Structure 1
Amino acid sequence: MASSSSSKVSLKLLIDTKEERVLFAEASKEFIDFLFNLLRLPIGTVTRLLTKNAMVGSLGKLYESKENLGDVYLNKPEQDRNTLLKPSSPLASGYLLPTANDDDRHDTNSSGTPNLYMCGGRCNYGVTRVRNRACPYCRGSMGYAVQLVGDDKKATEDSSAKGFVKGVVTYTVMDDLEVRPMSTISTITLISKFKVKDISSLQERVVELRMEEGIKLLKASLQCKNVLTSVFLEKDNIKEQEISQDIAMESETFSFTSLFD
């Protein structure tokens, strides 16, 4: 597994140091794509990323039940278990979170081209990028590796055309994750809206987001409305130690370098 130390996204925060809160953030396309992509995460993936014991509500127990249910009770043990516990996430590169299950990474061949997989029966010659996914035709394991030959035009598209938003725009992200295009007038209006009496109390801070911070943001977005403050400021960091402990081991199991093309 390649090192992930160089993979990150920067976010510029405007902080009211007197009130110890994040007023809003200045964000690039990469961070906005990450936020919007949270809406596409399968429930099983969210539960696994946040660890079942840290889940709000009863989804953690439901996840644990499926995890512990004996094979004798399942029609197709490995396929059914992986379908629910490790669902294929629809994430593309550049989203701060794993693009695939920790057991189902997208392998590449010696030329760096991703391998494709089909089942041993070559059913309808269907292929997938996720190794051992259940074949939709025979339900067998799609583990037979085949290579993509030739140039893939889509793979050479400009990275700015990928994702959900355009890269030529700078975006404002509110503490509750509301997203809007940034402009000078809107920034002045926002500062006025927060009724900041002492402008000298405002501080600009650039923070770097890696996978660990991405998972913290995912968890905080399910728990509170002051997400940026809870993740990046110590005083109002809701259950910061608990979040760090929950994801410390989990985040180490994923490759992060391929997420920023």
Structure 2
Amino acid sequence: MATTLMSLKLFVNKEMNRVVFAESGNDFVDVLLSFLTLPIGTIIGLTGKQSKMRSMSRLYESVEDLDVNLLQAEACKDMLLHPRSASEEQCKNLKMNQDICKKPPKVVAEGKDGVFVKGDVIYMISDDLQVFPASTASALSLFKDLGIGLRTTFEEHNVRVSAEEVLHLLERLLFSKTPLTDTFLREQDMASTADHNSIATLNSSGHGMAQSQMEGENDISSKRMSIKLIQNKSNHRIFYAETGTDFPDLLFSFLTFPLGAILKCLGGRSGIKSLDNLYKSIEDLNSKSSMKSEECKTLLLDPKLAPYFNSKNQLLQIEEEAPRNFLIKKCQICFNSDRLECSHGLGSIMVHPINPKYPGAVTESGGAFLKEPTTFIVTDNLVVKPFSTISVITLLSSYNIVMNDIEERDVNVGVLEAISLLKASLISNTVLNDVFSPGNPIPNKIGYYRRMVASTINKAIEDGILHEDNYSNN
């Protein structure tokens, strides 16, 4: 079968060998926007284990290494490593879907519009993935932002985009400030284009550094979990956390989150510039002139989890798509045998999907991925493994510390901590210290934290992440 290719026009600053912007029709833009519907686990699986998603990649590898007997059901491992998208029906019509996801396209009536955006519009895409309808005003504004004059020497490159280049772009959008240039003009070392301000962004953003024990603030959610931090007594450096199944289950659930849902939780500020730009571009695109419909815009900005992929330990209340029942015009035996007609005379039968997280035939949502009771350790960069004395001694020995300089600290994890953990897992290799260390240099810590809590609560209530009656502002 012939490989599918898409056309893309690049405008390149010749002196800098950098893409200033690209021009495209709806097919390339649809594929670009569809990245927000992809769950994190799927992205890591598509881009390979070399993915630079910081501690999130360590979570993925932890699931790979996990004994299946520690999971509620054997299917749980596949659900975390290859999570489904709730938008997969819509994405079947993407031009690159069959080459990337190996799924056949959905047969639909011919039309000029794309999957998410209108087909009669030419779009501009900046190097850092701002997307907008092409116009003179947009081009001049972009030139001004980049400090480029009209007398700059430009080259026009017409390229044919393959599935391999789409996957490169998907990978680079998660760590590079210039993903178009990196994908189409030069193969740079990944570290050279990484956003080195990511950790500073975590520390300074309203969602970073939540410390639930610091101020004695009122509980903002009825659901909380307790973990034990093992740390250095002298400088409070956290080595690892010791915990039951609920905390690792929360962390593993991050792999099922679509990118768009993560950006929604973080208020559009993930600390990854190109990803944030892409999300904001969709917010700014006009639903009447650019987007195919308001429903398409919602699918990208607030994507749901696929049916049964939610965990009872998730905390962030990202909504799950309701499972669909199917009416089949034949009995179950003939349906499983792919017979066109029922040979047993049965007119129809209603088929109810079952929740793979349960070993039995359960149709209700909910459940967890991990089996209770089990004790786990979670390292600073989110390697998760079952507790063992040998593993703990080996880990502590690697820090070259003395035994009397080790202490335990109990902390609670609620919504604010979950948001901070989610953000840090994308951009940091020291997640536990970034979120729970009491020594982090936040200016005016007490007043800052109270403002942060109030701001986050109001945003969460407004977005439907929290319910107002769960929080008492006393």
Same fold (TM over 0.5): yes
State the 1:68 CA deviation: 2.0
| Structural mapping, 1:1-261, within 5 Å | 3-5=1-3, 7-77=4-74, 79-89=75-85, 90=88, 91-97=91-97, 105=103, 155-188=107-140, 190-191=142-143, 194-196=147-149, 198-199=151-152, 201-234=153-186, 237-239=187-189
Q: 1:214 to 1:229 in 2, by over 3 A?
A: same
- Where 2:54 maps in the other structure, the secondary structure is coil
- Report how far residue 191 of structure 1 moved: 4.3
Secondary structure at the aligned position of 2:124 is classed as strand
Which consecutive residues of structure 2, in runs of 5 or more, have no partner in the other structure? 191-474
Question: Residue 93 of structure 1 contacts residue 99 of structure 1 at CA under 8 Å; is this kept in 2?
Answer: no
Equivalent residues of 2:52, 2:174 under 8 A apart: no
Q: How far did residue 84 of structure 1 move?
A: 1.1
Find the counterpart in structure 2 of residue 139 from structure 1. none
Q: Deviations over 1:67-108 (max 9, x none)?
A: 22222222211x112111111232322253568866xx55xx
One-letter amino acid of the structure 1 residue matched with residue 73 of structure 2? K
Contact 1:220–1:227 (8 Å) recurs in 2: yes
In structure 2, what residue type is equivalent to 1:55?
K
SS at match of 2:112: helix
Root mean square deviation, CA, Å = 2.8
- 2 CA distance for matches of 1:51 and 1:71? 22
| C-alpha distance 159-43 of structure 1, shift in aligned 2 (>3 A) | farther
How far apart are 1:52 and its partner, in Å? Answer: 2.5
Name the amino acid aligned to 2:68: D
Question: What SS does the corresponding residue of 2:20 show, helix, strand or coil?
Answer: strand
Q: Check conservation: 1:37, 1:95, Cα contact below 8 A.
A: no
CA contact (8 A) 1:25 1:172 kept: yes
Partners of 2:96 and 2:64 in 1: CA distance: 26
Scaled by the length of structure 1, the TM-score of the pair is 0.63
Task: Provide closer, same or farther for how the CA distance between residues 88 and 12 of structure 1 changes in structure 2, counting only shifts above 3 A.
Answer: same
CA contact (8 A) 1:97 1:214 kept: no
Q: Deviations over 1:93-147 (max 9, x none)?
A: 2253568866xx55xxxxxxx9xxxxxxxxxxxxxxxxxxxxxxxxxxxxxxxxx
Q: Is the CA contact 1:52–1:61 (under 8 Å) kept in the aligned structure 2?
A: no
Aligned to 1:136: none
Rg larger for = 2
Alpha-carbon distance in 2 for matches of 1:57, 1:191: 33
Question: Which secondary structure does the structure 1 equivalent of 2:64 belong to?
Answer: helix
1:171 deviates by: 0.5
The Cα shift of 1:27 comes to 0.9
1:53 Cα offset (Å): 3.5
Q: Which has the higher contact order (CA 8 A, sep 6+)?
A: 1
Q: Is the 8 A contact 2:27 2:114 kept in 1?
A: no
Instruction: Check the 8 A contact 1:52/1:59 in 2, yes or no.
Output: no
How far residue 188 of structure 1 moved from its aligned partner, in angstroms, is: 4.8
Query: Is the CA contact 1:88–1:100 (under 8 Å) kept in the aligned structure 2?
Result: no
Q: Any idea what SS the aligned residue of 1:45 has? A: helix
**Structure 2: which amino acid aligns with 1:93?**
N
